[in-house]
Structure 1
Amino acid sequence: MPDDTIYEDLGVPSVVNATGTKTRIGGSRIRPEAVDAMNRAADAFVRLSDLQARASDLIADVTGAQAGYVTSGAAAALALGAAACIAGDDIGAMAQLPDTEGLPGEIVMARTHRTGYDHALRAAGARIVDVGTNDHHLGTGAQNVEPWEYADAITEDTAAVAYVQKPYTEPSLEAVCDVAHDHNVPVVVDAAAELPPVTNLEAFIDAGADLVAFSGGKAIRGPQTTGFLAGRAALVSSVAAQHLDMHAAEAVWEPPTTLVDPEALGGVPRQGIGRPMKVGKEELAGFIRALDAFKAEDHDARQREWRARSERIAATLDSVAGVRTSITAADKTAVAPELTVTVEAGSAGISATEVVGALRREEPRVFVGADDLPEAFTVNPMCLTDEETTYVDERIRAQFDA
């Protein structure tokens, strides 16, 4: 592998990414056209509200939503989405956040949808109200959460219902939206890593979601620091009012009305809870170009390319004693054909945990997926080149041959 990346120049070991679009190792590779757009954006100025309004139109076009907004990652999208559901177009409430005293500050969420990422909702001041159980895992046939449990938890203090989209989550998003909308409560969906398939850009809006949070730095391959919201125009307008630099004289404050409704707000908002989540003109331009490219991509061809890489590594490891491989369909938590390598340490002479640790200590570091330890590790092909696939293949096999 080449040893002349910028990271070696900086005295930091680089990483060969065989674990997918993980933020902790830099997400994905930014598309060349996005990098070019960022470089060009750096040489000129623009009113960020104008650029956000343009991005809103493009996001609406590809998702079927009323509006969209570019954020500093999907977690920021969730935080801003929660803030919009709590404050609406009340600029006094916006200024009060994250203090939700006297405001509808509760977000209803199934226990089985809770993750560390829901901290983003709580950062806006929301208090999460858990519903449901873990009974499905007892094997009795019971479901973890039923639609009536959402209805029972919604009160006058409810700002939203939060839903984490994965192929295995239940009840269905449609059922949850029906219940929430019967009570005039919006539904916010965390779909950060749910691309591809490209059809998911529209699927959650079609199912009734009011706001959907996606990552811009994973499969879309925009700047790693970007995410975006798609959803109802009124909620997106609240997001913009709480995120954009509003430190302006009211007499000359003329935000783009397709994004912000000054009449509804009744005045210039203070710097909102989103101010620490700034998105620069370079990231905005890069994201717009990346979203265009992602939409136009041949996604079937990309899936075939990813599967071929997983199959190459599987073919090498299938002959190793104590090793069993399988390739997942894109229906689990991964959105690409991912290779699972199960290791019987007694026969292989090394455990899966030892393989993962040894690979991470090499230079360059090789990162494979560790979510299935101690029995197995995974190889995700999304961020690998053909050259890197060969290198990963060799380095994994070397651990068993040592």
Structure 2
Amino acid sequence: MPSRKEVLKMLSALPLGAAAGSHIANAANRKRDGAILSENGKANRVMGDEAFRNIGVEPVINCRGTFTIIGGSLERPQVRQAMEAASQSYVQYDELAEGIGRRLAELTGAEWGMVSAGCAAAMKHATAACVTGGNPEKLIRIPDLTGFEKTEVIIPHNSRNAYDHAVRNIGVDVITVETEKEFKLALSSRTAMIYLLAGRTGPLGLKNVAKMAGEYDVPVLVDAAAEDLTIPNAHLRDGATMVCYSGGKALRGPQCAGLLLGPKHLMQAAWQASSPHHGPGRDNKVGREEMMGMLAAVEAWVKIDHEAEWETWLSWLDTIDQRVSGIDGIDTVVEEPSLPGMSHPGALAPISNHSPRLEIHWDPDRLHVTGPELAEQMARTKPRIVVGSGTDDEAGTSYITITAWMMQPDDAEVVAGRIHELLSKKRSPRSGDMQAPAARLTGRWKVDMQYYAGRSEHVFFIEDQDKNWVEGAHQGDFTVRDIGGTVEGTTVKLLSTERLPGDRVTNIFTGTLSGDGNSISGKVFLGEYLTASFEATRQPKSGDREPISVPEGPPLAT
């Protein structure tokens, strides 16, 4: 492990600019600089890993992609340099935004650009711009849109997602449409904006939506958070008014930054709605460090040899493939989505999460482990490795996936060794038998849900039990939804999902049945919303049994 002194020496050796000279000299300089950057990266990783471990947190190897919950992406060296430099000086933020907007226009071909505190913040500021038109008297009244001319945003059903909270935060009414006819009927003088997820096609794809919206002069915002940045911009070319990107995904800029591109007047209105200006966007603070770091990410993006980067990713996957493909019963395949003009093979694909991927398939009845089980084991034991997983019911196989683009140079050997170890492990065949249930669960259960800072009363209606399998209904705070699961001995596992357009909350209940079979207590796993605890108590059946009188005619009194 490098000492702190050695780490600082590596950092001080980091080049600040490209060296001049002949083609040969430049090649040598690039090789030298690459070696320095590689050593610097190793040093930074050691420091980062130790910093996390010092507070009791074990870092992970990212073979999954740009998921924010595991850190998104790693900033490019140019980004870190720009952020460090920006942190050493003061600047007037409106002047900084003007300079960055102008430079982003030069780099991307868009009319103007803006840096935000993440892609969701860009969506929020863009919505505010379309609602207020840059009028601060309107801005300070958000989310109360009483008296506003523009109060609605149209979102096609297949573009509804958890991130459109950022649009709704402005106070607009979201009009969800499923057909072209519904879209046309929804368009009106009240429509402030159209929001679309990138990659949607058909009647409610970008080209057709932009054409219909253009008749009412309604701006169209495309959410391209995890996409590669295309220059000229593919979405603006196809009719989008604005497009937003995450800084902490493909661009490998600051994790807490976003990029918004579009016409200058809307970009300026969006900036007005952003911090440091007071109003609904003041909570989305973006600092000079993130602003300059995001600009540096775009500067780097236009210069990077993306073909060479792709080949590097393939080499990492090949290292893993070569190690695991020799295991008896294992099949591997490398998937390569491609783009026009790129020489590597593969079918034309969307540019979101654009990375080669290694799939490792096997028969779970032969190796006695499923892909999701293996992925869980890899994520929870050292070295912690995050991979994708799933099952292919049609082929009768299970699998894990290795996505290359957010891996680091030393990861491939570690990942290859760990997967080889786990897939080579001898496991006993699974028993197909389930332990007999300790009790029947049919009936009505009052459920005390205990959250971090509050409680709710829910109800389980367990309507049917077939040996170990149960199903029924779960009455939550607002809706009634299906619930189902198993009871094995005294262990109860139940699953229900609360769904709203673009949102869902999964409840996985795991608890222990009491000796008398009339209570269950345990934990609730809420996915990204972490955990809660619960206690369910069986409710006695009503003892009242009264005969039902059927009237012979219409009522004579009401």
Superposition TM-score tier, normalisation by shorter sequence = 0.7 to 0.9
> How far does residue 370 in structure 1 lie from its aligned partner after superposition?
4.5
Higher helix share: 1
- RMSD over aligned Cα, in angstroms? 2.2
Distance 1:13-1:284 versus aligned 2 partners, 3 A rule: same
Residue in 1 that maps onto 2:152: 106
| Counterpart pick for 1:277 among 275, 284, 287 | 284
Give the Cα–Cα distance (whole angstroms) in 2 for the partners of residues 276 and 315 of structure 1.
49
State the distance in 2 between where 1:206 and 1:365 align: 42
Residue in structure 2 matching 1:220, options 244, 251, 255: 251
Match for residue 164 of structure 1 among 193, 197, 207: 197
Q: Quick one: distance in 2 between partners of 1:365 and 1:10?
A: 17
Deviates more, 1:168-177 or 1:383-392: 168-177
Alpha-carbon separation, structure 2, partners of 1:82 and 1:385: 37
How far the C-alpha of 1:311 sits from its partner, in A, is 3.0
Q: Distance in 1 between matches of 2:185 and 2:333?
A: 43
In 1: Cα distance, 2:221 partner to 2:283 partner? 21
Q: Which amino acid aligns with 1:212?
A: V
- Describe the SS at the equivalent of 1:302: helix
Q: CA deviation at 1:25?
A: 0.9
Judged with a 3 Å threshold, the aligned counterparts in structure 2 of structure 1 residues 29 and 232 are, in CA distance, closer, same or farther, namely same
The answer for the alignment partner of 1:189 in structure 2 is 222
Q: Could you tell me how far apart the structure 1 residues matched to 2:57 and 2:328 are?
A: 35
Q: Quick check: 1:347 aligned with 2:363?
A: no
Q: Which has the higher strand share?
A: 2
Partners of 1:389 and 1:159 in 2: CA distance: 48
- 1:277 partner SS: coil
State the match for 1:180 in structure 2.
213
Of 141, 149, 170, the residue aligned with 1:124 is: 170
Larger radius of gyration: 2
Distance 1:89 1:385, change over 3 A: closer
Amino acid in structure 1 at the alignment position of 2:286: V
Aligned residue in 2 for 1:293:
300
Normalising by the residue count of structure 2, what TM-score does the alignment of the two structures yield?
0.61
Q: Which runs of 5+ in 1 are unaligned?
A: 133-144, 247-270
TM alignment of 1:311-350, pairs within 5 A:
311-330=318-337, 331=349, 334-350=353-369
Give the Å deviation of 1:159.
0.9
Are the aligned partners of 2:155 and 2:174 in contact in 1 as well (CA < 8 Å)? yes
Structure 2 residues not aligned, in runs of 5+: 1-41, 338-348, 426-558
CA gap of 1:166–1:318, structure 2 versus 1, over 3 A, is: farther
Aligned residues: 363
**Offset, 1:227:** 0.5
Task: Name the structure 2 match of 1:52.
Answer: 97
| Contact 1:113–1:169, Cα closer than 8 Å, also in 2 | no
CA positional deviation for 1:324:
3.4
Task: Select the residue among 260, 266, 271 that pairs with 1:235.
Answer: 266
Which residue pairs with 2:85 in the alignment? 40
> 1:20 maps to what in 2?
65
1:296–1:108 distance in 2 versus 1, CA, 3 Å:
same
Deviation at 1:201, TM superposition (A): 5.8
CA drift of 1:3 comes to 6.3
* TM-score normalised per structure 1: 0.84
Residues 49, 244 of structure 1: 8 Å contact kept: no
User: Cα distance, 1:52 vs. partner?
Assistant: 1.3
Q: After superposition, what is the alpha-carbon deviation per residue over 1:45-71, rounded to whole angstroms, capped at 9, x for unaligned?
A: 111111111111122223322211100
Q: Is the 8 A contact 1:18 1:379 kept in 2?
A: yes
Counting only pairs closer than 5 Å after superposition, residues 48-87 of structure 1 correspond to structure 2 as 48-87=93-132
Structure 2 residue aligned with 1:379: 402
- 1:319-347 deviation per Cα after TM superposition (whole angstroms, max 9, x unaligned): 33454333223225531112233343112
Identity of matched residues, %:
30
Larger CA deviation: 341-350 vs 61-70 = 341-350
With over 3 angstroms needed to count, the CA separation of the structure-2 counterparts of 1:323 and 1:109, relative to structure 1, is: farther
Q: CA deviation at 1:180?
A: 0.5
1:223-251 Cα offsets, whole Å, 9 max, x none, are 100101000112111111111424xxxxx
